[in-house]
Each structure stands twice: as C-alpha cells, then as structure tokens.
RNA sequence: GCCGACGUAGCUCAGUGGUAGAGCGCAUCCUUGGUAAGGAUGAGGUCACGAGUUCAACUCUCGUCGUUGGCUCCA
C-alpha cells in the first residue's frame, strides 16, 4: 500500500501501482471526468502515472494553470498529428503550451506553404483525429533508440534536441500515428479536446537564432467546451476595440504619415494636450522630489557616443551620422539623453554637498528600430523619454533608488495601473565580457536593486542576462489589451558612464570621487505610456487628463450670447469649454460613445441665463443638477482632486 | 531584417478581367425651446505606388512602399 497526502492534508491509502486517474475515480466519477492532470510531489504528471511510493498528490481541473498547460500541450501534439497527415514530409521543431494556447514550429515540405486559409483544413483534421479519442501513451526510450527512430524519419530538429539530452531521461509520447519527443505531461487521450481554433501563422527562427533556419510557427488555442472557446474569441474581439491604434485614430490623438516616415508619430492637437497634462503631472511630482528640469539639443557630436560606448555597440544599426560642410564633422541624432546630461553635470565642479544632482528632461530620442518591430505608439523610431539622471554619492545610491521607486509607484497608483509586474535584470554570470564595467561595481549595483525591492516589499522576478550592457536595471511592465507585456517605468544603475565621462565630485576629504549615476524614466516614453494608458482606460481618460472637458449647449440661438459668456468664464479657469452648434450631432455621438473626451455637457437656456447658472450633465451619469458657473468650476476641480488622490 | 496576411471615399468595409458601391462622417438647406435631436439634397476615390500579361487590369503576375500577426532585437 502507498500513503497519498491530499492538498487538504488528509491521507489515504491505495494499492501500490494505482494510477492518478483511478484515484480520481475513487473520489468521484465526475471529478475523474473533469480532471486533466495531477501533481505528484509538486511535479506535474500524466493522469496515467502510477504511484509506487508515498507522496503528496493534487488533481488539476481546468481552472488550474497546470491543467491548461497540459491540455494545450496535448493540443499541440494533436495539431502536429493533423499536420503530419495533411503534409507528409513535414518536419517538426518544438511545440509547447504558452500563456494562452500553444504553437508548433514546423518545417514545411519542399515547395509547400501553409497560409491562413489552410488553417480551417487543419482544424477539421484535428477534430477528426480527436473524435477517434486515441490514447496518448508515454514511453521511456534510450538515447540510441530515440536517435535511430527520428533518424529514420529524418527529423533533423528532433535529432538535434536528442543529442543534447542525457541518456535515461528521454521519453516519447505517442498518439495515433504520431510520435513525438516530449517530456510531457499530457492528457490521457485527445478525445477531450473539443473546441479548436488555430489563430495565426508566423515565422520563427529555429532555437530563436536569426542565423538559423526560419520555421513556420502555427498558433492555436483549444478548450474542453465550445462555449469557452466562444467566450475567449469574444474576449479577443473586445480587446481589439481597446487597441490604442484604433482609439488613437478615433479620438484624433496621433497619426502616422508615410511621407514623414515609418515609426515617426505625429501628435494631433488632442493627443498633444493629453501628453502635456501627463508631462505637467510628472513635472510637479519631480519638483517635489528635488529634480531640476534641463533642456538639451536633439543632436550631438558623434564622439559623445563613442565616449559613452553606445556607438561601438549600436552605431551600425542606428540612424547614420549627420554630416556638415566641414570635413570629417559628424553629428548623431541622440539615441539617449545621458551624454548630454553628463556634460551638464560637468559644467562646474561639484561638491559632495551638492549631491544628489537630479537632472530631468522630456528628451526626444531617435532609434532605428527594425522595421518589423514597429508597432503603433508602443514601438517607434522617435520617442520622448521622461528621462532623468541622478548623480549621487555611493552612500546615497540606495536611498535615491528607493525614492525613484516611490515616484513610479505613486504614478502607477494615481493612474490606476494595478496589474504591473516588476523585473530585476541582472547580467548573465556566464557571459560577463558582454558588459562594460568592473565586477565590483556590478556586484554593488545589483545588490542595491535587490535590496531596495526587498525593502519596498516588491516581488520582482529576476532575469539573468537581461541587464543593459552598462548596468543592471529594474523595470515595471504593464500588459496591453491583448496581454502583450510592455516595459514602462525603468530604473537603471550605472557605474560606467561616470567613469567614461570622468565625472567627479569633491568629497568631505577634499579628494576627487566618482559619483554613481541612475537613469530613470517612470513613464518609459510618452508614446508607449499613452498607448498603454489608452488600452487601460479604453479611451476614457481620468478627468484630469481629459483634453476637452466641457461642451456648452445653448438650447436656441437666443442663448448663444449667454453660452459664450459661460465658456469664457470656464476657459479663464483651466477648464476647456466649447460651444456646441446645434447642427453638430455631438449629443448622439457622446451617447453612442463615439466621443469619449467630453465628460460634461452644460445646457443653457432661459432659466440659466436669468440666474447665471448652468444645467450640468455628466457622460454616463446623467443630470448633475443646476448650479452656478463658479460652483461648476469647483465641482470639476473637486472631481479632479478626488481622482488624483 | 525574416516568415505569413493585408492596402478600395475622412472612417469601417462590400465588390467584379469590361474603367466602382454601402453605412457613418463631411457640406448645404429644412426642422428642433429643455433637447446627449430628426429630415432632404449633395460633394468626395488615377481602387497604395511602379512594371508586366491582356483587345481590356481595381481585379492576374512580379517588384516597391506602408500596415499588421509573430520571430529576432530593444541603449
């Protein structure tokens, strides 16, 4: 007999060699039907796994991530079987489950191409195979046998994978006519895969290496029930409605022009107004934290980036130098603001008493991003960083680092970004020559970040090898409408630029010392931030960010004069008011949500004109009653204040 | 940059080897006194650009540019 401990702590005894699915059946037949995977000693396993010794045990239903993962992994195998049937000679790469669904990388037979229109055919084949409910069988195999099996099929990618595996750890999973190298776990059979949707086709380099062959990646998602698939597809549709590119166009916030160039956003008046408000908000916060605004040019001599080390690393893949009539003179569009700020730091001798120096600038930078990588406002070639560089003494580093975290957390809270993730990026310990700077400095900087997070109670994931080449960093990531992660706020510690630019301060010992530098951008860039803000709010910005706040509507021409008076008073406060001509069908647009940036409508007529008041309506909330114009101003200010708190 | 898809009126899209349509928007006029409105009429497009096949190309082929789903990249 074996003792099996369940998640609630209870222990039951079973015959040795009982399978997980049999345990589920012993609890209830319905559970056995719904269960998809199990964890034995906290390791996810097949339901067909037999239990030979005492263990902890948990069954996973669809709700558990482990179950979804298993379900989608088996779905990838099902798709592979269908592809094999439809395209003989197809070769397989890898086919894992992902956050939502799964993919399989395949190498199509010579001369064959798969396109979107073929996906339905593959789906149908998958359904056909699934309905046969063939079992998925696991098999342990020796390395030699595995090699000869896949060599006989000329599966070059699988062979490459097997060669990297240890003998004795290799397993196969078979279902129907398909066999795959796979460590599992999988469903007991493919019959449960009922609702199938293949989503898209993409190219993907074998093993993520752009020098190697590009395989065809097919993405799909499956569910145990059709209703769940329908709900998921509807969710995708809803997310598309929040796409910042769509809303940005509708609300006339920004646009792109082929004539201006790829990835070069043009901010329209309303978008510029929104951006200006965000900038002013941040400026105010930064002022309170002791930052000084500076302004620097968009170009600088090439030597500036040779000194910083950026030219050596990125020069070839950037906008190329600007030449002047002078022989040999070269300027670069600035890809970052750091060197300019370093020169500001150097403009006069600094005392230890002056530190920290905090130089802030909404600095527009230019980076020649790969064309395929451009995406709406989230990835562009010209963007404005809410940049600042902090120069401080080593003993001030942690304190300054934490103050920056405070700013970022305050901003995220004010804008109601709750689901952000934080990531600490450290260097790859096995590849230290990729980075510039001494070991000692790197270790100090990395420790400062890890400790700061700990003290702020922030649970950050740690990624090795993700650091910038000059220092470690802490990033704040937010997901867009479709669940893609974008990095917004960033804080980076840098011991290298102060070295390269020979920055100094005079210490209390009357000796020269090297300051530490922190790069930081709470929004990241105005472009990306606005994009993510649009998707989070679905275009319904907080009142204090709204480009236009009020429409004044006279109920007949007779009251135009009074409407003008009202809007004048409002415009003298910081509320923006527009008079609505009655022929403009703005009312219907607001009602139908076609216009999202006019949260208030003021109706003025005889009564209002007589007692100098306005009738107030708030979008989505209806009548707010009649009030004097001054009361309305303080009403809005109160609402704004509430949102800012 | 690479693989796939897409590019028709300001927007969202339909359409066909014989030189184009809808809805919304826009313009003009009418109507509307408590209203997040109604009606009529009208103006908009060398069907992204260039070449080729064809008697004839928006439609087929190739190329370019741009957008887009991914991959790689992201100072």
Q: Determine what percent of chain A is predicted with pLDDT higher than 90.
A: 62
User: β-pairing, A357-366 with A330-333?
Assistant: unpaired
Summarised one tens digit per residue, pLDDT across range A372-423 is 999 999 999 999 999 999 999 999 999 999 999 999 999 999 998 888 999 9
Task: Give the DSSP per-residue string, A124-170.
Answer: HHHHHHHHTTPBPEEEE--HHHHHHHHHHTT-HHHHHHHHTSPTT--
**Cβ of A249 near strand B (distance < 7 A):** yes
Neighbouring CB atoms inside 10 A of A573's CB total 15
Summarised one tens digit per residue, pLDDT across range A451-481 is 999 999 999 999 998 888 888 999 999 988 8
| Predicted confidence (pLDDT) at residue A583 exceeds the cutoff of 60 | no
Distance, in Å, from the CA atom of A573 to the CA atom of A638, rounded to the nearest integer, reads 14
Q: Residue A200 CA to B3 C1' — how many Å?
A: 12
A506-520: string of b/e by CB count within 10 Å (b at 16+)?
Answer: eeeeeeebbbbbbbb
| Predicted confidence (pLDDT) at residue A596 exceeds the cutoff of 70 | no
Give catalytic residue positions of A: 338, 367, 385, 387, 389, 473, 519
Quick one: CA dihedral A182, A185, A191, A197, positive or negative? negative
Q: Show the 3-state SS of A325-337.
A: CCCCCEEEECCCC
Q: Which nucleotide is nearest to A108 (CA to C1')?
A: B3
Rg (CA), chain A: 31
Q: Which nucleotides of B are covered by protein (CB under 7 A)?
A: 1-5, 11-12, 25-26, 29-38, 65-75
Summarised one tens digit per residue, pLDDT across range A138-190 is 999 999 999 999 999 899 999 999 999 888 889 999 998 899 999 889 999 99
Q: Show the 3-state SS of A360-391.
A: EEEEEEECCCCHHHCECCCECCEEEEEEEEEE
Distance, in Å, from the CA atom of A147 to the CA atom of A152, rounded to the nearest integer, reads 8
Q: Which nucleotide is nearest to A469 (CA to C1')?
A: B75
Q: Determine what percent of chain A is predicted with pLDDT higher than 70.
A: 97
Q: Could you tell me the CA-to-CA distances from A462 to A291, A442, A474 in Å, in that order?
A: 29, 15, 9
Distance, in Å, from the CA atom of A529 to the CA atom of A535, rounded to the nearest integer, reads 10
**Cβ of A590 near strand B (distance < 7 A):** yes
Q: Residue A68 CA to B6 C1' — how many Å?
A: 33
Q: Which of A126-135, A325-334, A431-440, A589-598 has the lowest mean pLDDT?
A: A589-598
* Residue of A462, A432, A468, A430 lying closest to A447 (CA atoms): A462
What is the predicted ipTM? 0.93
**Cβ of A425 near strand B (distance < 7 A):** no
- Mean pLDDT for the stretch of residues A603-611: 89
**Cβ of A560 near strand B (distance < 7 A):** no
Beta bridge partners of A101: A98
Distance, in Å, from the CA atom of A72 to the CA atom of A101, rounded to the nearest integer, reads 6
Quick one: CA dihedral A391, A395, A400, A402, positive or negative? positive
């Amino acid at each position: 007999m074996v003792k099996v401990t369940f998640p609630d702590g209870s222990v039951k005894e079973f015959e040795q060699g009982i399978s997980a699915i049999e345990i589920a059946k012993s609890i209830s037949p319905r559970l056995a039907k719904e269960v998809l995977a199990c964890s034995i000693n906290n390791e996810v396993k097949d339901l067909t796994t037999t239990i030979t010794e005492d263990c902890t045990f948990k069954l996973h239903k669809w709700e558990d991530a482990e179950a979804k993962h298993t379900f989608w992994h088996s779905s990838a195998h099902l798709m592979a079987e269908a592809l094999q049937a439809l395209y003989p000679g197809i070769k397989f790469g890898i086919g894992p489950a992902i956050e939502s669904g799964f993919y399989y990388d395949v190498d199509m037979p010579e001369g064959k191409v798969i396109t979107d229109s073929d996906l339905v055919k593959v789906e149908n084949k998958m359904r056909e195979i699934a309905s046969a409910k063939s079992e998925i069988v696991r098999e342990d195999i020796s390395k030699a046998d595995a090699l000869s099996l896949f060599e006989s099929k000329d599966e070059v990618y699988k062979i490459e994978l097997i060669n990297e595996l240890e003998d004795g750890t290799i397993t196969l999973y078979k279902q129907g006519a398909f066999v795959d190298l796979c460590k599992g776990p999988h469903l007991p059979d493919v019959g449960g895969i009922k609702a199938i949707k293949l989503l898209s086709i993409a190219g993907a380099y074998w093993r993520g290496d752009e020098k190697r062959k590009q395989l065809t990646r097919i993405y799909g998602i499956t569910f145990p029930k059709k209703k769940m698939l329908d709900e998921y597809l509807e969710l995708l549709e809803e997310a598309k409605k929040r796409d910042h590119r769509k809303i940005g166009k509708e609300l006339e916030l920004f646009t792109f022009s082929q004539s201006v160039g790829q990835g070069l956003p043009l901010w329209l008046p309303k978008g510029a107004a929104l951006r200006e408000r965000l900038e002013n908000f941040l400026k105010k916060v930064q002022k309170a934290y002791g930052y000084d605004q500076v302004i620097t040019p968009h170009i600088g001599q090439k030597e500036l980036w040779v000194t910083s080390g950026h030219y050596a690393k990125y020069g070839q893949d950037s906008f190329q130098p600007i030449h002047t009539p002078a022989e040999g003179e070269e300027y670069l569009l600035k890809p970052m603001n750091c060197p300019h700020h370093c020169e500001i730091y150097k403009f006069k001798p600094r005392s230890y008493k002056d530190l920290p120096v905090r130089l802030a600038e909404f600095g527009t930078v230019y980076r020649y991003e790969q064309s395929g990588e451009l995406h709406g406002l989230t990835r562009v070639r010209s963007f404005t960083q809410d940049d600042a560089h902090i120069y401080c003494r080593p003993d001030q580093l942690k304190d300054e680092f934490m103050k920056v975290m405070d700013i970022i957390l305050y901003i995220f809270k004010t804008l109601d970004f709750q689901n952000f993730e934080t990531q600490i990026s450290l260097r790859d310990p096995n590849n230290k020559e990729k980075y510039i700077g001494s070991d000692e400095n790197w270790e100090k900087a990395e420790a400062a970040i890890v400790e700061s997070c700990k003290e702020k109670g922030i649970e950050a994931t740690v990624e090795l090898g993700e650091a910038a080449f000059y220092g470690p960093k802490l990033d704040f990531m937010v997901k867009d409408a479709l669940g893609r992660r974008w990095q917004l706020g960033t804080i980076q510690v840098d011991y290298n630029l102060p070295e390269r630019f020979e920055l100094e301060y005079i210490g209390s010992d009357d000796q020269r010392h090297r300051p530490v530098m922190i790069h930081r951008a709470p929004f990241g860039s105005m472009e990306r931030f606005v994009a993510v803000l649009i998707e989070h709010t679905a275009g319904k910005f907080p009142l204090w960010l709204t480009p236009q706040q009020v429409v004044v509507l006279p109920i007949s021409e007779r009251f135009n004069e009074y409407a003008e008076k009202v809007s004048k008073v409002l415009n003298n406060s910081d509320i923006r008011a527009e008079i609505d001509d009655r022929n403009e069908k703005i009312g219907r647009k607001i009602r139908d949500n076609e216009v999202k940036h006019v949260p208030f409508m003021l109706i003025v007529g005889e009564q209002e004109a007589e007692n100098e008041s306005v009738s107030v309506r708030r979008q989505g909330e209806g009548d707010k009653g009649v009030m004097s114009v001054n009361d309305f101003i303080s009403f809005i200010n109160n609402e704004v204040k509430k949102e800012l708190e």
